[in-house]
């Protein structure tokens, strides 16, 4: 059906011509830089996070121990426990007056204060200081520690010691159970990172189809308007020319995309190592397994890009062949652009509800699957049969599109000056290439 | 079969070919033959069906009925590299270098790169454009672009050259180089079929011709035979000091075809009447400056056959020319 030697000849020319174009080289470089910068976001955010090295938030609590019983250390032990998503508490022991403690809090020198005294009955008395006077999470955490301290003190005063004492003050076991509707097992940081990566690939799928599809249409019209098409059609069949063009521009697109995605993925995978080398602290965002994530999303993106590109490019070429002049291209490819934008909106929707019925349908329908399936793979749980069906449909539609485009091409390439109408392709009044 | 065709001398045979586009009958029962190794002129007004016929010979588009064969084989079964094509609308990649472009096009037609490069060097010298080898096409003058276009048609070494208006837009120097190129190709045994508006060029260059009008062949064959086929004789006649020669209108069977700056062209039924014009001039003691008897030029043939078709019938009848099928030889 195809003369592969001729197809390759056309594809090679198309590819080399683009590689030599200054605009192509610059775009490739800019794209690469943007991607490498985006892949370095975790390391950059670590570098600019507060506290320079240690990225975690801390709060300072002033403790004024008026009892003389050295209660600061046991208190500090109680407050030092890490609580997820909460700042670490730093205890600063002070011997100033209560007024000074309040003053330092007002000056934002500390976040809260605690004064410990003993009343005439020997029981501990606590006074809390903060700026707002509200019972916030910090005061609750301090109260919790204080209650414990108080318990220990009272047990000691009652003379309970040894095993009985240990048993009484043993820390309770507390398990926090989150609702199953919440993000399962992964941290917020990982969820955010996945969301960003899914978004990047959704946008990239949308952009490349429009960009390279445009190249195809422009390329076909260039050959028509420069009239070289007529010599080419004498030498090769419209089918060969069409496939060569789609292939050649596809290779140019790959030349642009592959280094970007591969290098971007490598940089993203090495965030931990880069952070260590630069002696930056590590936050949660840097310790995600980016290697697996980029391999998975980049790999699927390329698979869907290849077949999605063939599908769209074939149609762009067919439409381009109906147009005689460069100025008419944009108008003629408007329907294709609309389909692409629809695919992008589908992808945006998929980002928010990756396993909803609509997202599942969009990720299987051929024209929207290239933009929506990749975000679904990253954020949701597509079933294997959904993936298989989506790919089979996409490939079948791409082959069908090539055949339809070849048909349009046969009539389109000899058609000049007429309004580009699909109907004229199937009417008998048009000159049609015989091969 | 091939031997029979060769004996006949006719390599390209177009027989009973029709082509319609919707309701438009672009080519109607076209018959003509082209001998191998000859230069064949294909003449016709704009829209007469030249390009459609040429595209059918190239099998770019296919006829609705009739056959087009090359030495007995339908052209649709011939490999592409047997044909070279220079389309009427010139077309090359504007931003591609001459050499890259020509190699690409020749390879697409099935030629080998090394042979093409060798040939290319020779032709660039022959056409005096060797300095343009590594320039982009858009940097070249129009005439030089056309030479490149010609090379795009021949570098893959085709047997049949189809050239649509190869002379349009060429200055006399370039046109002369193009003619030499034609002769070179003919000497190599190639068959050259070209269409043109410049009928003088056709008369000078081609051995055979066909005239197509409104999709029909109205005259075809050997150039001299076609010129004699009208049965008319033309006289180029000039008298010193008399631009108008009023007495010519009084002579029977003598028609003034056109008045030129340096002579008057007459059409007469035969040489006897022609000589009577000369006798009359001598009788009137007019100083004859030019008296030349010749068959009508290709230009005259073209105009007469074209005019006699619908819309021009009255003049055709007045001239008494033969019907198209009789003109064909």
The answer to whether the CB atoms of B91 and A226 lie below 8 A apart is yes
- B61 CA to chain A: closest CA distance, Å? 5
The interface predicted TM-score of the complex, written ipTM, equals 0.80
- C-alpha pair distances (Å), B116 with each of A16, A112, A235, B56, B152: 20, 88, 15, 27, 11
- A426 CA to chain B: closest CA distance, Å? 11
Average pLDDT over residues A339-363: 91
The answer to whether the CB atoms of B92 and A431 lie below 8 A apart is no
Partner-chain residue, chosen from B23, B61, B85, that has the shortest CB–CB distance to A231: B85
Residues B257, A317: Cα–Cα separation, whole Å = 54
Average pLDDT over residues A110-139: 87
Mutate to test the interface with B, among A14, A231, A244 (most CBs of B within 10 A): A231
pLDDT tens by residue, A252-281: 999 999 998 899 888 888 887 888 887 776
Sign of CA dihedral A266, A267, A271, A275: positive
Residues A80, A145: Cα–Cα separation, whole Å = 10
**C-alpha of A283 from chain center:** 18
Residues B299, B48: Cα–Cα separation, whole Å = 16
Residues B76, A435: Cα–Cα separation, whole Å = 9
Mutate to test the interface with A, among B18, B23, B26, B61 (most CBs of A within 10 A): B61
Pairing of strands B65-70, A124-129: unpaired
Residues A235, A237: Cα–Cα separation, whole Å = 7
The helix (run of H) or strand (run of E) holding residue B57 is helix B50-57
**C-alpha of B158 from chain center:** 19
Mutate to test the interface with B, among A5, A228, A421 (most CBs of B within 10 A): A228
Pairing of strands B10-21, A124-129: unpaired
Token pair 């240990």 in the structure block, residue:
A166
- Reduce the DSSP state of residue A169 to 3 states and report it: helix
Q: Average pLDDT, whole number, for chain B?
A: 86
- A229 CA to chain B: closest CA distance, Å? 7
Q: What confidence score (pLDDT) does residue A181 get? A: 54
The answer to whether the CB atoms of A434 and B96 lie below 8 A apart is no
Nearest CA in chain B to A5: B108
- In this complex, is the C-beta atom of B38 within 8 Å of any C-beta atom belonging to chain A? no
In 3D space, the residue among A20, A255, A243 whose CA is nearest the CA of residue B100 turns out to be A20
Residues B82, B153: Cα–Cα separation, whole Å = 11
Residue B193 dihedral angles phi and psi, to the nearest 5°:
-115, 120
Q: Average pLDDT, whole number, for chain A?
A: 85
pLDDT tens by residue, A274-324: 888 877 765 667 777 788 888 888 899 999 999 999 999 999 999 999 888
**C-alpha of B57 from chain center:** 16
In 3D space, the residue among B41, B73, B75, B99 whose CA is nearest the CA of residue B298 turns out to be B41
Nearest CA in chain B to A424: B22
pLDDT tens by residue, B56-78: 999 999 999 999 999 999 999 99
Residues A313, A242: Cα–Cα separation, whole Å = 10
* Exposed / middle / buried, residue A215 (Cβ in 10 Å: 0-12, 13-18, 19+): buried
The answer to whether the CB atoms of A226 and B92 lie below 8 A apart is yes
Among the residue ranges A29-43, A121-135, A174-188, A263-277, the one predicted with the least confidence is A174-188
- Whether the model clears a pTM of 0.95, i.e. scores above it, the answer is no
- Of the two residues A422 and B282, the one the predictor is more confident about is B282
**Identity of the highest mean pLDDT range in A87-91, A344-348, B297-301:** A344-348
**C-alpha of A366 from chain center:** 23
- Of the two residues A425 and A292, the one the predictor is more confident about is A292
Average pLDDT over residues A230-247: 92
pLDDT tens by residue, A61-84: 899 988 888 888 888 877 877 776
Cβ atoms of B109 and A235 within 8 Å: the answer is yes
The answer to whether the CB atoms of B109 and A234 lie below 8 A apart is yes
- A11 CA to chain B: closest CA distance, Å? 11
Residues 6 or more apart whose CB falls under 8 angstroms from that of B172 comprise none
pLDDT tens by residue, B103-147: 999 999 999 999 999 999 999 999 999 999 999 999 999 899 999
* For residue A330, pLDDT beyond 60: yes
Interface of A with B (CB under 8 A): 6, 9-10, 13, 17, 222-223, 226-236, 414, 427-435
Under DSSP, the state recorded for B77 is: G
Q: Where are the alpha helices (DSSP H) in A226-237?
A: 229-235
DSSP letters of B205-248?
A: H-SEEEEEETTEEEEEEEHHHHHHTT--EEEEEEETTBSS-GGG
Q: What confidence score (pLDDT) does residue B320 get? A: 35
- B267 CA to chain A: closest CA distance, Å? 42
Q: What confidence score (pLDDT) does residue B324 get? A: 37
Q: What confidence score (pLDDT) does residue A287 get? A: 72
């Amino acid at each position: 059906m195809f003369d592969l030697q001729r197809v390759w000849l056309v594809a090679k020319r198309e590819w080399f011509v683009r590689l030599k174009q200054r605009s192509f080289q610059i775009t490739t470089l800019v794209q690469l830089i943007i991607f490498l910068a985006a892949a370095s976001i975790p390391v950059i955010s670590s570098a600019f996070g507060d506290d320079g090295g240690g990225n975690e938030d801390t709060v300072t609590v002033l403790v004024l121990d008026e009892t003389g019983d050295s209660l600061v250390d046991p208190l500090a032990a109680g407050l030092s426990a890490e609580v997820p998503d909460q700042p670490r508490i730093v205890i600063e022991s002070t011997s100033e007056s209560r007024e000074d403690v309040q003053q330092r809090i007002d000056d934002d020198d500390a976040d809260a204060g605690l004064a410990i005294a003993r009343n005439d009955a020997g029981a501990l008395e606590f006074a809390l200081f903060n700026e707002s006077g509200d019972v916030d999470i910090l005061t609750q955490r301090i109260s919790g520690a204080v209650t414990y301290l108080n318990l220990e003190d009272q047990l000691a005063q009652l003379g309970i010691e040894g095993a009985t004492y240990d048993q009484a003050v043993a820390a309770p076991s507390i398990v926090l159970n989150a609702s199953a509707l919440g993000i399962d097992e992964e941290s917020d940081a990982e969820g955010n990172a996945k969301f960003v990566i899914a978004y990047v690939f959704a946008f990239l799928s949308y952009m490349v189809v429009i960009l390279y599809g445009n190249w195809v249409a422009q390329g076909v019209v260039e050959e028509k308007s420069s009239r070289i098409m007529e010599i080419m059609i004498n030498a090769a069949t419209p089918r060969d020319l069409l496939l060569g063009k789609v292939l050649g521009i596809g290779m140019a697109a790959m030349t642009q995309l592959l280094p970007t995605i591969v290098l971007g993925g490598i940089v993203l995978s090495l965030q931990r190592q880069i952070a260590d080398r630069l002696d930056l602290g590590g936050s949660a965002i840097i310790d995600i397994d980016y290697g697996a994530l980029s391999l998975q999303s980049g790999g699927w993106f390329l698979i869907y890009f290849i077949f999605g590109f063939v599908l769209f490019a074939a149609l762009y070429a067919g439409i381009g062949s109906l147009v005689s002049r460069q100025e008419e291209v944009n108008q003629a490819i408007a329907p294709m652009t609309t389909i692409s934008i629809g695919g992008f909106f589908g992808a945006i929707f998929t980002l928010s509800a990756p396993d909803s019925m609509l997202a599942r349908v969009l990720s299987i329908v051929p024209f929207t699957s290239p933009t929506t399936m990749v975000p679904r793979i990253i954020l949701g749980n597509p079933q294997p049969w959904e993936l298989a069906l989506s790919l089979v449909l996409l490939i079948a539609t791409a082959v069908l599109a090539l055949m339809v485009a070849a048909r349009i091409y046969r009539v389109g390439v000899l058609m000049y000056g007429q309004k580009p109408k699909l109907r004229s392709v199937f009417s008998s009044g048009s000159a049609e290439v015989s091969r | 079969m091939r031997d029979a065709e060769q004996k006949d001398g006719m390599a390209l045979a177009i027989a009973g070919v029709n082509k319609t586009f919707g309701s438009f009958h672009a080519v109607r029962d076209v018959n003509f033959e082209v001998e191998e190794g000859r230069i064949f002129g294909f003449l016709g007004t704009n829209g007469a069906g030249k390009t459609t016929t040429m595209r059918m010979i190239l099998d770019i588009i296919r006829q609705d009925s009739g056959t087009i064969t090359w030495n007995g084989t339908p052209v649709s079964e011939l490999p592409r590299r047997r044909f070279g094509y220079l389309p009427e609308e010139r077309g090359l990649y504007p931003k591609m270098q001459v050499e890259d472009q020509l190699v690409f096009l020749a390879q697409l037609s099935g030629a080998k790169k090394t042979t093409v490069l060798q040939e290319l060097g020779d032709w660039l010298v022959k056409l005096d454009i060797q300095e343009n080898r590594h320039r982009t096409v858009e940097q070249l003058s129009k005439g030089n672009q056309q030479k490149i276009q010609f090379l795009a048609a021949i570098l893959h070494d085709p047997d049949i050259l189809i050239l649509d208006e190869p002379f349009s837009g060429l200055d006399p120097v370039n046109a002369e180089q193009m003619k030499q190129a034609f002769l070179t190709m003919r000497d190599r045994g190639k068959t050259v079929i070209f269409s043109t508006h410049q009928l003088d060029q056709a008369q000078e260059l081609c051995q055979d011709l066909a005239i197509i009008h409104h999709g029909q062949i109205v005259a075809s064959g050997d150039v001299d035979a076609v010129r004699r086929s009208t049965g008319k004789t033309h006289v180029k006649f000039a008298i010193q000091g008399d631009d108008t020669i009023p007495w010519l209108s009084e002579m029977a069977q003598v028609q003034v075809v056109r008045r030129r700056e340096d002579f008057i062209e007459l059409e007469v039924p035969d040489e006897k009447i022609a000589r009577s014009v000369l006798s009359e001039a001598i009788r009137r003691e007019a100083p004859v400056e030019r008296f030349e008897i010749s068959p009508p030029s290709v230009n005259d043939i073209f105009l007469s056959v074209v005019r006699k078709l619908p819309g021009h019938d009255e003049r055709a009848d007045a001239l008494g020319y033969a019907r198209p099928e009789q003109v064909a030889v």
